[in-house]
A = this chain, B = another copy of it.
Amino acid sequence: MPVKGMRDFPPKDMILRQKVFAIVRNVFERYGFEPFETPAIELAKTLKGKYGEEEKLIYEFEDRGGRKLALRYDQTVPLVRYIVENPEIPKPFRRYVIGKAWRAEEVRKGRYREFYQCDIDTVGAKSILADAEVIACALEALNNLNLKDSYIRLNNRKILAAIIKYAGVKENKVIQVIRTIDKLDKLGEEGVKGELKKLKLRVSEIKKILEVISISGKPNEVVLKAKKVIGKIKEGVEGLEELQELISYLKEFGVKNYVVDLSLARGLDYYTGNIFEIMGKNKKIGSLGGGGRYDKLIAKLSGEKIDLPAVGLALGIERIIEIVKEQNLIQTPPTVVEVYVLPVKKETIPKAINIAKNLRENGFNCEIDLMGRKISRQLEYASSKGIPKVIIVGPKDLAKRKVTIRDMKTGKEEKVNIKDIVGALE
């Protein structure tokens, strides 16, 4: 069997997956994101120290030369490595990637140790327009996958930091508190309270934080209420401005379905500004992706004083494919084969090859019998694979320069002149 947490994809699954990837890729390219790929393997030191607590999930190993290597854990850190190593590429650099990542996760339904990621990132642009663009692009991709009515939760790391400081918590605990708030969905409010206590926050501090992050209402209402609380903290003012600018750009892109949710934290340490999460239209679907600004990561990794702000968004593509499959949102055939050519006897094989050749030249995906089985067995095979049409090439028909075309759905058969096969199939 495949290694625990990993999967084989038989043709039926692959056909759907390729269709989903093609739809997503098409939207990404229409927004000007360029294809880009890095190796599956990185030096371990490139990945370490970037993912906070989750770092323990990285697959590490040594090559024969004693190099310490690791399997790619996400698409962002390899992108950043590339950016630092290739300073000459024109900015902004917009790229998408559809590629595998590996994490030694606890395996459970819908969670794998090898999985695809589907990311867009814009490097080198400070403008919040770039934030709006990745969101609009991701939503359009979901829309084209018939996952309509998804919505966006918006927040800003600076706002969160300001809230935490407003509550009286010291600067050096901010990132740990944010990580804990990120567990709200998983642990619930009581669980988070417990974790914050472990971080030695006072009860009054915890109460203040939970009060502010649970402010709800329409986007502008939440912003106004938040302003009353953190409007005098520098980071808070900045964060609120960035969030408002994002909202104004989203309007221009025609994106209407968003909420401001001050409890949104996002797990990774490296976010610096706006953060966002895409949610399915009902709660059962949950998160379909997310991302945010990471304006300091590239400078940090390069160790130099370069200013390369960046923003990115990752679609939870494995989850999305699951939903598309379960809800039958995209129709795909069970096989790529459109026509099965069935030579009735060994002596009709040359003619059958000839017919298949002609069909292929006309763009049909065409399979020819290899087994010499009797007709009924061959029709069974074609039927079990879901091939829609069978061309029966028998000596009697051939004598009249004809073949029999069988529609596998209806079972109807018709005799057709060999030269008219393409027309009859179209």
Contacts and interface: CB of A to CB of B under 8 A. Distances in A.
Interface in A79-122: 82, 85-86, 89-92, 94-95, 100, 102, 104, 114, 122
A29 interface: yes
A282 B4 CA distance: 47
A91 to B, nearest CB: 8
A244 B12 CA distance: 36
A336 B67 CA distance: 36
B18 A370 contact: no
Contacts of A381: 90
Interface stretch (A227-235, A293-301, A352-360): A352-360
Interface stretch (A34-42, A149-157, A173-181, A203-211): A34-42
A129 interface: yes
A6 interface: yes
Contacts of A336: 29, 32-35
A357 to B, nearest CB: 7
Given A61-B60, A129-B349, A39 B370 contact: no
Contact of A370 (B9, B100, B129, B370): B129
A4 B65 CA distance: 10
A188 interface: no
10 contacts: A3-B43, A9-B36, A11-B95, A31-B366, A40-B100, A90-B384, A249-B353, A252-B350, A253-B357, A254-B357
A220 interface: no
Interface in A24-67: 29-43, 59-65, 67
A323 interface: no
A200 interface: no
A372 interface: yes
Given A30-B364, A59-B61, 5 more contacts: A9-B35, A9-B36, A30-B363, A30-B365, A31-B360
Given A9-B37, A41-B102, A360-B30, A3 B69 contact: yes
Contacts of A92: 370-371
